Homo-oligomer: A and B are copies of this chain.
Amino acid sequence: MLKGDLMSLPNKSTPDLQSCPIRDVLDRIGDQWSFLILLELQDGVRRFSELNRAIDDVSKQMLSRTLKRLEQDGFVHRQLYPEIPPRVEYRLTELGRSFLVPLNALVAWADAHHSTIRNCRKTYDAAP
């Protein structure tokens, strides 16, 4: 039952975080914006400003940084049209699309269990 995968989690004797797949991946896309961008791109191509508007509480600074990292890791493809004014389009790569599967599973789980979690918090906080 994923024993093999878990064995590749050994924090023991592997001070290098990069060597642990899940830690390496989550350190990159576990931030506040990455997954929102990926979800936004799942419907197709988006321009920078479109993403900025779609995720309305992200600054263009963070959007820029996050997109660059996603591009760097191969989740996203960046296409520049050298027009004036410049136009840039972002789309998911094959890798990025494949990531949508586990990501959407997570979204579905969160959606299904959110109210339960919120109730747990209330109960917990109500206790002395």
Contact = CB atoms under 8 A, between A and B. Distances in A.
Interface residues of A, number: 55
Contact of A113 (B57, B95, B104, B119): B95
B5 A108 contact: yes
Interface in A27-59: 27, 30-32, 35-36, 39, 42, 54-57
A71 B21 CA distance: 26
Contacts of A111: 5, 8, 21-22
Nearest to A105: B102
A2 interface: yes
Interface residues of A: mostly helix, strand, loop or mixed?
helix
B21 A32 contact: no
Given A15-B57, A73-B120, A113-B95, A107 B32 contact: no
A73 B2 CA distance: 25
Contacts of A109: 25, 98-99, 101-102
Q: Most chain-B Cβ atoms within 10 A of its Cβ — which of A8, A31, A111, A116?
A: A111
A101 to B, nearest CB: 7
